[in-house]
Amino acid sequence: MISTLLAMQMDWALVLEKFLLIVVVVSVSLGFAMYSTYAERKVAAALQDRSGPNRFGWFGLLQPIADAIKLFSKEDIIPNKANKVLFVMGPGLAMLAALMTSAVIPWGDKVVLGGREISLQIADLNIGMLYVFAVVALGVYGVMIGGWSSNNKFSLLAAIRGASQNISYELAMGLSLIALLFVTGSLSLKDIVVGQQTNGWNILYQPLGFLIFIVCAFAECNRTPFDLPEAENELNFGYHQEYSSMKLGFYLFAEYINMFISSVIMATLYFGGYDIPFFNEAASSLHPNILALMGFGALMAKTVFFVFVFMWVRWTIPRFRYDQLMNLGWKSLIPLALFNMLITGAVVLYLQNGWPKF
Amino acid sequence: MQPLTNRAKNVDRRPMTLAERAYLPAILKGMGITFSHLFKKKPTIQYPEEKRPFSQVFRGLHVLNRDEEGRERCTACGLCAVACPAEAITMEAAERQEGEENLYREEKYAAKYEINMLRCIFCGLCEEACPKDAIYLSETFAPANYDRKGFIYGKNDLLIPNPLTDREAYEQAAGGRVRQPVGSR
């Protein structure tokens, strides 16, 4: 017992380093989500020939703070017949699931501080992709618990819709990723990025897989055209109808964090992660810290682009009907993903073993 | 059946082609359209800083006019109040005293003159009814207020600035609409 404690003592620096990394990553995610709400309104305005928020701060840049103050100062209502424990838990769970995914994402290469090499990844799990899937699946609980505990039939309907939608699209998403894993040969996100640095980005090998993945990512994040769980005009406001004040804010915020994380994951899986395009990191003579910073910048640029695509799509196309949603998921995306998997598997086998001899 | 007009079009009920069922071409086309809007000029007028010019015939807040010597033209005859379909105008007349000739143009004047801007429908009939060119509708509208009392405009709010002491403000308030005094009609 004491020896294990002593052994742990040696790694205090590691614990501190990881703790700081977690704080930074979480606050970056939160800050990014905060400004996505602003960006969403600006992008929506620009696409509709309006100017968007421009009163508070320079170009309205302090708008998210104004929104937060407004949400915090609103009355917090818990319905009389709601299940109070679950009702309070719902938004927290949604937020938790949204933030937890960021643990396995490689935000950059190594940083050297005082002779210590610090990897810019909270945990390099060898099953990173599976972890992401598990946590994303947990996100359904936020929706489901929120909808069920409000004791409101519209919320419940919306929650059931949301849950079944997420589960249906997770299937196609998983299948499209299996094809990707055939190519990369590893579940670790770090390995996937390093592989892309040498072999070129995965989008070149998996264009169809990426298409399926991005469609499923839209559905997983409950973004238009798949925003049925919060369909304003059919189900009032969806699963968070009974929520008010910052609890509602948490649900809306979780959506933006989800969007951020799925953009990061898309960039990591298909667009080289922190890889800087047309630049050989291994051969460059720059200081590793500068390289890491540049890599982080590249990842963020890709992420911002995907977040913009999320918003762009939202303000372009209308919502799917529920049967259309299910048809698309089960009858189009899953067969397509299976087909993609089959072709990829065949090609990978051919490249490894050559043409089979009968 | 004989078509009544030539504008009727047959609805295309053929099943969707594969390209249409894939949604993607149509979605990309739509995204192209919305993207082009990023570069379009915004028609927004940034209101408090920037104001839309009103038309010359816009009927806004009332102005009680003065003559070129800065004397109030209103004689409290009450024709505007009679003409008003919304009964928004009330006034009290008073007699001009010795030594007030520089304030009021004629022997009788309005001691109190109130227009309720919540009742007023800005029809301009008061302006038409006035025999003394004393009331005009200007090119501004009543600003928001916190209570109803704030919408009852008295003489202080309505009177145009004195052209002798404050020429600039007078001309700004007169705008293009208040005709220059032409003497008694």
Residue numbers in A near B23 (CB within 8 A): 328
User: Could you tell me if residue A201 is inside a domain?
Assistant: yes
Q: Is pLDDT at A173 greater than 70 in this prediction?
A: yes
CA atoms in the 13 A half-sphere facing the CB of A254: 27
How far B50 CA lies from chain A's nearest CA (Å)?
14
Average pLDDT taken over every residue of chain B = 85
User: Could you tell me if residue B49 is inside a domain?
Assistant: no
Q: What is the mean pLDDT of residues A119-131?
A: 83
User: Could you tell me if residue B156 is inside a domain?
Assistant: yes
User: Could you tell me if residue A44 is inside a domain?
Assistant: no
Strands B89-95 and A116-119, by their bridges, are: unpaired
Query: What CATH number did the domain enclosing B150 receive?
Result: 3.30.70.3270
pLDDT in tens, A208-236: 999 999 999 998 888 878 887 777 667 77
User: Could you tell me if residue A22 is inside a domain?
Assistant: no
Say which residue, A247 or A236, is predicted with more confidence: A247
Q: How far apart are CA A346 and CA A139, in angstroms?
A: 34
Nearest CA in chain A to B42: A49
Average pLDDT taken over every residue of chain A = 85
Of B31, B33, B37, the CB nearest to A49: B37
User: Which domain range does residue B86 map to?
Assistant: 62-174
- Given an 8 Å threshold on Cβ–Cβ distance, is A46 in contact with B37? yes
Is residue B19 within 8 angstroms of chain A, CB to CB? no
User: Model confidence at A5, in pLDDT bands (50, 70, 90)?
Assistant: low
First to last CA, chain B: 68
- Given an 8 Å threshold on Cβ–Cβ distance, is B31 in contact with A49? no
pLDDT in tens, A323-338: 888 888 899 899 999 9
User: Model confidence at B182, in pLDDT bands (50, 70, 90)?
Assistant: very low
User: Could you tell me if residue A27 is inside a domain?
Assistant: no
CA atoms in the 13 A half-sphere facing the CB of A131: 18
Is residue A126 within 8 angstroms of chain B, CB to CB? no
Smallest CA-to-CA distance from B151 within B110, B111, B119 is with B119
Long-range own/partner contacts, residues B127-132 (CB < 8 A, 24 or more apart): B127/B80, B128/B83, B129/B79, B129/B80, B129/B82, B129/B83, B130/B79, B130/B80, B131/B77, B131/B79, B131/B185, B132/B73, B132/B74, B132/B75, B132/B77, B132/B105, B132/B106, B132/B184, B132/B185
User: Could you tell me if residue A2 is inside a domain?
Assistant: no
Residues belonging to chain A? 358
Smallest CA-to-CA distance from A328 within A241, A215, A249, A244 is with A215
User: Could you tell me if residue B16 is inside a domain?
Assistant: no
Say which residue, B33 or B180, is predicted with more confidence: B33
* Residue A99 vs residues A11, A24, A27, A32, A290: alpha-carbon distances, Å: 25, 12, 10, 12, 27
Residue numbers in A near B37 (CB within 8 A): 46-49
| pTM (predicted TM-score) | 0.80
pLDDT for A19? 87
Of B34, B41, B44, the CB nearest to A316: B34
ipTM at complex level: 0.78
User: Which domain range does residue A194 map to?
Assistant: 70-353
Residue numbers in B near A310 (CB within 8 A): none
User: Could you tell me if residue B104 is inside a domain?
Assistant: yes
Q: What φ, ψ does residue A56 adopt, rounded to 5°? A: -95, 105
Is residue B7 within 8 angstroms of chain A, CB to CB? no
Strands A116-119 and A110-113, by their bridges, are: antiparallel
Please tell me the least confidently modeled range out of A66-70, A244-248, B93-97, B165-169.
B165-169
Q: How far apart are CA B77 and CA B64, in angstroms?
A: 14
- In terms of Cβ atoms closer than 10 Å to its own Cβ (0-12, 13-18, 19+), residue A234 is middle
Is residue B29 within 8 angstroms of chain A, CB to CB? no
pLDDT in tens, B111-134: 999 999 999 999 989 999 999 889
pLDDT for B185? 37
User: Could you tell me if residue A82 is inside a domain?
Assistant: yes
Nearest CA in chain B to A215: B24
Residue type, A75: E
Q: How far apart are CA B118 and CA A255, in angstroms?
A: 45
Q: What is the mean pLDDT of residues B65-79?
A: 89
Considering chain A, what percentage of its residues have pLDDT values greater than 90? 13
- What is the number of structural domains in chain A? 1
Smallest CA-to-CA distance from A156 within A219, A220, A95, A79 is with A79
Among A113-122, B83-92, B142-151, B160-169, the range with the most confident prediction by mean pLDDT is: B83-92
pLDDT in tens, B152-175: 999 988 888 888 888 878 877 776
- Given an 8 Å threshold on Cβ–Cβ distance, is B42 in contact with A312? no
Nearest CA in chain B to A225: B27
User: Could you tell me if residue A7 is inside a domain?
Assistant: no
User: Could you tell me if residue B118 is inside a domain?
Assistant: yes
User: Could you tell me if residue B47 is inside a domain?
Assistant: no
- What is the number of structural domains in chain B? 1
Q: Is pLDDT at A10 greater than 70 in this prediction?
A: no
Residue numbers in B near A311 (CB within 8 A): none
pLDDT in tens, A15-50: 888 888 889 888 988 898 889 999 999 999 999 988
